[in-house]
């Protein structure tokens, strides 16, 4: 019916209901207006209840410019100049795939399968065409491959939740926020980073209902602008100190829920001893924390009292603060506070843990066409199941933030492989992992490299062969939302592929022929393949009874009888439904971590000052802390070239006038931001919205080094470190820099 | 009848989805021509900061001062709904007349592309959608539902009569057709 209404705009316009598959934190219904085979407009969700519409953000509003951008890759390319020069010549698919197949066979024969490296990212998250799944299936059947471990965004939170709950589903459905009496948003900016399509709107409803919201963040974020009753600025990397001082106030004033702790947790006494100073002689008082965090004593005390006395209250700790040197301890500490206040498993409460996901329609349950057997390179390794020992993860892999170090150093550097062939699919890792300049050097030395992408990204510039892939509008697929949901979306192909672009699945299928992999199963009929994938997983199989209707409407919404609350089952019946942990309880103390005997990875959550924090000796040379939060006008580095988006949010560095003035930096000045790893230029934006001592540059701008090695593109990762925490967090927010006015030259 | 806008300034996160939805619907390239803009205001000193966002389309004024200054009568106000529209074909272009409409408008609503002698274009309340009983695309694109539109009298009944907002001066001469829930420091 709605389609008919829209058709009136122009009789020739067809409405295709679809969605996109970015790594964005949302999953939004889209209506592509297609005329003569071309998308001419894009509208969002038209669900009859406007309050429940899943409204897309500015990024997919600009999706048309992304699809039809003049710089999109349309043909396979072969390098025609030095690596990194960006010089390529057009070749045919036949030529490209033949060459790749020959190189794969050659490397396999000469060096073995472990020398074939697959680097996978999250830029396309559909069930059928996801290049990660397609390439894993292909390379497994080719005899195996090496790869990496650790999610760039959320690994600190993953490790923390695996430690204390052994479950990634620590969230509540978003409507449960309305049952809260107090919400503490810690390092969480859903206005920009989305965190579920309807999250920001639900938070606005929370605010308008009169529920108090407190935002703790080094920046006064756009979320804080509309939501915060109070903004508490904090020094990056010190969140844990503030939380521990809050615990001190609760313990010394007897505000904590001892009954809850006795019944549902283990190890609180050890944590309490640490907090009170019985372990190390340092009581973690608010005075102690003020010196570390810059948060005034009285604010720490009043927040601790308010959080402990307001029931229920939701402590929402996001993942950014955990992208730091010992990041997992921040999420672990937040979880400990939620247990101390008895807010776990309660409506309107929160179990914290950073991931905020619910087990309905979640992307973790995404269907995929599985490889027929295990990656042969990883057969026979010690099992990682249930272990918190990161070293087990690295028996055959490197950490994601060490991909380029591993390429550079190989086995001599202690890695389990020497890379001779690398395939980068669904990512722009040169740009998006730490220490970009060093990474570029690694890629110059890499023997052979294939990139499949829509764009000639900074990573792709180093490729030997680039394969152009289709956009979401050129594919049919099955999608799942990020943490909130719950719903499924059906991506209907709206247009024919641009140029000679192919989907990652088709590329794998065609390459399988070249490699002579006769058993490699193909899925030529997309609607049929999607039916198969819908039936593959229990939740889609049970809920989507009418696949045709799902396909036509592009979305299937799941109705929850009541809001989902993480661990409600356990809290209501711990005897019969224990937590997944070895003790069956929330493990504030983790024996599994204690057994690792790693001083950097304490069995109870602690505040530990580590490298490139505020008090690092390096801060004498580089006195400013650098943050690299999510941008609003791109999805990480995706959509970077889309002009409509670029003009919305010019690339600037946030700097407080207190730091700008002594450096004679005025608003709009070109500045040089630098440390030992790199230099970039960017315009300064003087704002009172950032805590002094900190500079913030949104991640994802494209690396563009000049002849002096200065990055003119403002890619923040030329400054960040290629390091990870003991729990595997990519520590990109632990970074010290200095800035000065840039007058050209060095 | 007079159409108008409602803007809940307390809800706006400045995301600019409305700006892009407008550019997409009206097929306007990146560049200076923006039929709706988001204005930014920051006041105070760290950590006591105040930030507001303000929408800036054409407010389809009750008394549009752009209209009489146009030397060729390219700007008209529709009697049936008060939408102020421009006939870009009639417009002489910004060089020929020195952008008289833009100079007259207190809200910078008249817009010009980057090309030489650009003809004036501006927000037309998505009149094509309006004629099909659809709301302007900016309204339907707002993630936080900070925007509404419709007959001004109905908006006033629903949302009140407030014509003040942060970073906005109500012109008693032109009488912009907008009411607010303002953000107040």
Give the pLDDT confidence of A578-614 residue by residue, as tens digits.
Answer: 999 999 999 999 999 999 999 999 999 999 999 999 9
Candidates A644, A695, A696: best to mutate against B (most CBs of B within 10 A) is A644
Is A204's CB within 8 Å of B144's CB? yes
Closest residue, chain A, to B183 (C-alpha)? A226
Q: Are residues A589 and A621 in the same domain?
A: no
Q: Which helix (H) or strand (E) holds A532?
A: helix A526-536
Is A648's CB within 8 Å of B25's CB? no
Min Cα distance B68 → chain A (Å) is 32
Interval A215-231 mean pLDDT: 98
- Distance, in Å, from the CA atom of A81 to the CA atom of A88, rounded to the nearest integer, reads 7
Asked if residue A6 has pLDDT above 50, the reply is no
Residue A317 within a domain: yes
- The structural domains of chain B, ordered by start, are 3-181 (3.30.70.20)
Chain B hits for A692, CB-CB cut-off 8 Å, are 46
Contact by Cβ (8 Å): A267, A590: yes
Which pTM value belongs to this model? 0.97
What is the pLDDT at residue A8? 42
Interval A256-280 mean pLDDT: 98
Candidates B8, B9, B16, B45: best to mutate against A (most CBs of A within 10 A) is B16
Interval A473-502 mean pLDDT: 94
Asked if residue A343 has pLDDT above 80, the reply is yes
- Distance, in Å, from the CA atom of A733 to the CA atom of A717, rounded to the nearest integer, reads 10
Residue A254 within a domain: yes
Contact by Cβ (8 Å): A93, A503: no
Is A222's CB within 8 Å of B13's CB? yes
Q: Are residues A233 and A282 in the same domain?
A: yes
Closest residue, chain B, to A686 (C-alpha)? B42
Closest residue, chain A, to B185 (C-alpha)? A225
Give the pLDDT confidence of A276-292 residue by residue, as tens digits.
Answer: 999 999 999 999 999 99
Asked if residue A9 has pLDDT above 50, the reply is no
Give the pLDDT confidence of A144-159 residue by residue, as tens digits.
Answer: 999 999 999 999 999 9
- Distance, in Å, from the CA atom of A18 to the CA atom of A28, rounded to the nearest integer, reads 8
Chain A hits for B19, CB-CB cut-off 8 Å, are 58, 648
Q: Are residues A586 and A649 in the same domain?
A: no
What is the pLDDT at residue A2? 43
Asked if residue A11 has pLDDT above 90, the reply is no
Q: Are residues A43 and A171 in the same domain?
A: no
What is the pLDDT at residue A484? 77
Q: Are residues A588 and A668 in the same domain?
A: no
Residue A237 within a domain: yes
Facing A688 at nearest CB: one of B49, B53, B128: B49
- Distance, in Å, from the CA atom of A742 to the CA atom of A39, rounded to the nearest integer, reads 43
Q: Are residues A339 and A228 in the same domain?
A: yes
Min Cα distance B108 → chain A (Å) is 18
Q: Are residues A628 and A730 in the same domain?
A: yes
Report residue A432 as tokens.
């998006």
Chain A hits for B9, CB-CB cut-off 8 Å, are none
Is B46's CB within 8 Å of A64's CB? no
Q: Are residues A682 and A584 in the same domain?
A: no
Give the pLDDT confidence of A455-487 residue by residue, as tens digits.
Answer: 999 999 999 999 999 999 999 999 999 887 899
Is A223's CB within 8 Å of B13's CB? yes
What is the pLDDT at residue A1? 37
Check which CATH number belongs to the domain holding A579 and give it.
3.40.228.10
Please report the ipTM that was assigned to this predicted complex. 0.98
Q: Mean pLDDT in chain A?
A: 96
Q: Are residues A248 and A172 in the same domain?
A: yes
Sign, CA torsion A495/A548/A26/A636 = negative
Closest residue, chain B, to A200 (C-alpha)? B144
Closest residue, chain B, to A62 (C-alpha)? B20
Give residue ranges of B with CB < 8 Å to any A CB: 10-17, 19-21, 23-25, 27, 29-31, 42, 44-47, 49, 51-53, 128, 132, 134, 137, 140-145
What is the pLDDT at residue A745? 59
Min Cα distance B47 → chain A (Å) is 7
- Distance, in Å, from the CA atom of A680 to the CA atom of A672, rounded to the nearest integer, reads 6
Residue A422 within a domain: no
Which residues face A376 on adjacent strands? none
Facing B49 at nearest CB: one of A56, A220, A643: A220
What is the pLDDT at residue A4? 41
Give the pLDDT confidence of B133-170 residue by residue, as tens digits.
Answer: 999 999 999 999 999 999 999 999 999 999 999 999 99
Is B20's CB within 8 Å of A648's CB? yes
Facing B13 at nearest CB: one of A226, A231, A648: A226
Is B141's CB within 8 Å of A692's CB? no
Q: Binning pLDDT at 50, 70 and 90, where does residue B18 land? A: very high
Query: Of the candidates A210, A201, A179, which has an alpha carbon nearest to the alpha carbon of residue A49?
Result: A201
- Distance, in Å, from the CA atom of A325 to the CA atom of A318, rounded to the nearest integer, reads 16
Asked if residue A678 has pLDDT above 90, the reply is yes
Q: SS3 letters for A297-314?
A: HHHHHHHHHHHHHCCCEE
Distance of CA A415 to CAs A136, A333, A391, A683, B153, Å?
20, 32, 11, 39, 71
What is the pLDDT at residue A744? 76
Overall domain count for chain A: 3
Give the pLDDT confidence of A691-725 residue by residue, as tens digits.
Answer: 999 999 999 999 999 999 999 999 999 999 999 99
Q: Are residues A209 and A312 in the same domain?
A: yes
CA angle A652, A653, A655 (to 5 degrees): 135
Residue A645 within a domain: yes
Give the pLDDT confidence of A163-208 residue by residue, as tens digits.
Answer: 999 999 999 999 999 999 999 999 999 999 999 999 999 999 999 9
Min Cα distance B45 → chain A (Å) is 6
Facing B24 at nearest CB: one of A50, A64, A691: A64
Asked if residue B29 has pLDDT above 80, the reply is yes
Residue A253 within a domain: yes
Is A644's CB within 8 Å of B20's CB? yes
Residue A226 within a domain: yes
- Domain boundaries, position A42: 2-67
Q: Binning pLDDT at 50, 70 and 90, where does residue A371 land? A: very high
Q: Binning pLDDT at 50, 70 and 90, where does residue A547 land? A: very high
Check which CATH number belongs to the domain holding A674 and give it.
2.40.40.20
Report residue A65 as tokens.
């410019």
Interval A97-108 mean pLDDT: 98
Q: Are residues A695 and A590 in the same domain?
A: no
Closest residue, chain B, to A656 (C-alpha)? B46
Is A690's CB within 8 Å of B46's CB? yes
Candidates B143, B150, B159, B181: best to mutate against A (most CBs of A within 10 A) is B143
DSSP A246: H
Residue where one domain finishes, among candidates A67, A90, A123: A67
Contacts of residue A639, Cβ cutoff 8 Å, sequence gap at least 6: A22, A59, A62, A66, A633, A645
What is the pLDDT at residue B161? 98
What is the pLDDT at residue A318? 97
Q: Binning pLDDT at 50, 70 and 90, where does residue A7 land? A: very low
Contact by Cβ (8 Å): B2, B150: no
Facing B13 at nearest CB: one of A40, A225, A690: A225
What is the pLDDT at residue A448? 98
Q: Are residues A195 and A236 in the same domain?
A: yes
Q: How many residues does chain B have?
A: 185
Q: Binning pLDDT at 50, 70 and 90, where does residue A10 land? A: low
Residue A99 within a domain: no
Is A5's CB within 8 Å of B132's CB? yes
CA angle B119, B122, B124 (to 5 degrees): 130
Give the pLDDT confidence of A30-83 residue by residue, as tens digits.
Answer: 999 999 999 999 999 999 999 999 999 999 999 999 999 999 999 999 999 999
Is B10's CB within 8 Å of A226's CB? yes
Interval B66-73 mean pLDDT: 98
Residue where one domain finishes, among candidates A42, A67, A92: A67
């Amino acid at each position: 019916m709605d389609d008919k209404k829209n058709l009136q705009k122009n009789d020739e316009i067809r409405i295709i209901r679809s969605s996109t598959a970015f790594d964005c934190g949302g999953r939004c219904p889209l209506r592509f207006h297609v005329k003569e085979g071309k998308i001419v407009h894009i509208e969002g969700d038209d669900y009859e209840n406007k309050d429940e519409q899943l409204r897309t953000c500015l990024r997919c509003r600009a999706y048309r410019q992304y699809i039809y951008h003049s710089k999109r890759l349309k043909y396979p390319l072969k390098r025609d100049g030095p690596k990194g020069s960006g010089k390529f010549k057009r070749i045919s698919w036949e030529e490209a795939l033949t060459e790749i197949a020959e190189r794969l066979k050659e490397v396999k024969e000469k060096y073995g399968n472990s020398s074939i490296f697959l680097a996978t990212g999250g830029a396309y998250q559909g069930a059928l065409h996801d290049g990660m799944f397609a390439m894993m299936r292909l390379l497994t059947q080719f005899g195996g491959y090496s790869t990496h471990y650790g999610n760039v965004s959320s690994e600190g939170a993953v490790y923390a939740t695996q430690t204390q709950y052994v479950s990634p589903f620590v969230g509540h459905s978003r409507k449960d926020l309305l049952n809260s009496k107090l919400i503490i948003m810690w390092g969480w900016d859903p206005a920009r980073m989305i965190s579920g399509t309807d999250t920001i709107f639900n938070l606005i409803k929370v605010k308008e209902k009169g529920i108090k919201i407190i935002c703790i963040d080094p920046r006064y974020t756009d979320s804080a602008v509309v939501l915060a009753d109070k903004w508490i600025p904090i020094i990056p990397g010190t969140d844990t100190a503030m939380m521990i001082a809050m615990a001190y106030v609760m313990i010394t004033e007897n505000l904590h829920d001892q009954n809850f702790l006795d019944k549902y947790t283990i190890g609180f006494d050890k944590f309490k001893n640490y907090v009170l100073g019985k372990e190390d002689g340092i009581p973690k008082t608010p005075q102690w924390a003020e010196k570390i965090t810059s948060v005034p004593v009285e604010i720490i005390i009043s927040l601790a009292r308010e959080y402990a006395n307001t029931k229920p209250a939701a402590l929402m700790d996001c993942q950014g603060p955990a992208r730091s040197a010992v990041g997992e301890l921040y999420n672990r500490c937040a979880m400990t506070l939620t247990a101390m206040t008895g807010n776990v498993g309660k409506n309107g409460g929160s179990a914290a843990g950073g991931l905020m996901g619910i087990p309905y329609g979640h992307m973790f349950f995404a269907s995929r066409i599985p490889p027929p057997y295990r990656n042969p390179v990883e057969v026979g390794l010690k099992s990682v199941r249930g272990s918190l020992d990161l070293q087990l993860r690295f028996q055959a892999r490197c950490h994601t933030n060490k991909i380029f170090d591993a390429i550079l150093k190989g086995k001599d550097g202690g890695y389990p492989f020497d890379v001779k062939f690398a395939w980068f699919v669904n990512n722009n890792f040169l740009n998006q992992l730490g220490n970009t300049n060093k990474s570029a050097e690694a890629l110059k030395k890499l023997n052979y490299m294939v990139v499949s992408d829509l764009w000639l990204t900074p990573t792709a510039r180093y490729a030997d062969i680039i394969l152009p892939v289709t956009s979401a509008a050129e594919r049919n697929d099955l999608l799942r939302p990020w943490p909130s949901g719950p719903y499924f979306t059906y991506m209907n192909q709206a247009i024919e592929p641009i140029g000679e672009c192919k989907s990652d699945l088709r590329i794998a299928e065609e390459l399988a022929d070249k490699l002579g992999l006769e058993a490699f199963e193909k899925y030529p009929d997309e609607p049929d393949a999607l039916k198969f994938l819908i039936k593959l997983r229990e939740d889609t199989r049970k809920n989507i009874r009418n696949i045709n209707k799902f396909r036509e409407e592009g979305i299937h919404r799941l109705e929850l009888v009541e809001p989902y609350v993480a661990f409600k089952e356990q809290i209501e019946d711990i005897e019969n439904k224990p937590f997944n942990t070895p003790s069956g309880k929330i493990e504030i103390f983790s024996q599994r971590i204690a057994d690792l005997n790693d001083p950097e990875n304490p069995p109870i959550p602690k505040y530990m000052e580590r490298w490139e924090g505020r008090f690092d000796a390096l801060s004498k040379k580089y006195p400013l802390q650098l943050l690299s939060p999510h941008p609003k006008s791109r999805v990480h580095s995706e959509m970077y070239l889309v002009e409509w988006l670029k003009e919305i949010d010019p690339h600037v560095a946030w700097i407080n006038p207190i730091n700008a003035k002594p450096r004679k930096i005025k608003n709009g000045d070109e500045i040089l931001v630098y440390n030992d790893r790199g230099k970039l230029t960017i315009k300064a934006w003087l704002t009172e919205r950032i805590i002094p001592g900190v500079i913030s540059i949104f991640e994802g701008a494209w690396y563009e080094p000049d002849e002096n090695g200065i990055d003119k593109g403002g890619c923040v990762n030329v400054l960040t470190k290629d390091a990870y925490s003991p729990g595997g967090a990519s520590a990109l927010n632990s970074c010290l820099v200095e800035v000065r006015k840039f007058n050209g030259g060095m | 009848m007079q159409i108008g806008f409602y803007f809940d300034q307390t809800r706006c996160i400045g995301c600019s989805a409305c700006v892009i939805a407008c550019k997409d619907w009206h097929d306007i390239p990146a560049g200076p021509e923006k039929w709706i803009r988001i204005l930014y205001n920051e006041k105070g000193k760290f950590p006591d900061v105040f930030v507001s966002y303000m929408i800036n389309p054409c407010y389809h004024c009750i008394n549009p001062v752009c209209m009489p200054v146009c030397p060729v009568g390219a700007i008209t106000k529709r009697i049936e709904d008060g939408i102020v529209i421009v006939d870009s074909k009639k417009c002489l272009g910004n060089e020929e007349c020195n952008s008289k409409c833009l100079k007259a408008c207190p809200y910078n609503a008249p817009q010009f592309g980057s090309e030489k002698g650009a003809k004036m274009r501006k927000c037309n309340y998505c009149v094509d959608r309006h004629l099909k009983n659809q709301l302007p695309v900016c309204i339907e694109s707002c993630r936080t539902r900070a925007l509404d539109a419709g007959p001004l009298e109905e908006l006033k009944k629903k949302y009140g009569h407030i014509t003040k907002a942060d970073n906005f001066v109500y012109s008693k001469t032109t009488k912009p057709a907008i009411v607010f829930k303002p953000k107040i420091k």
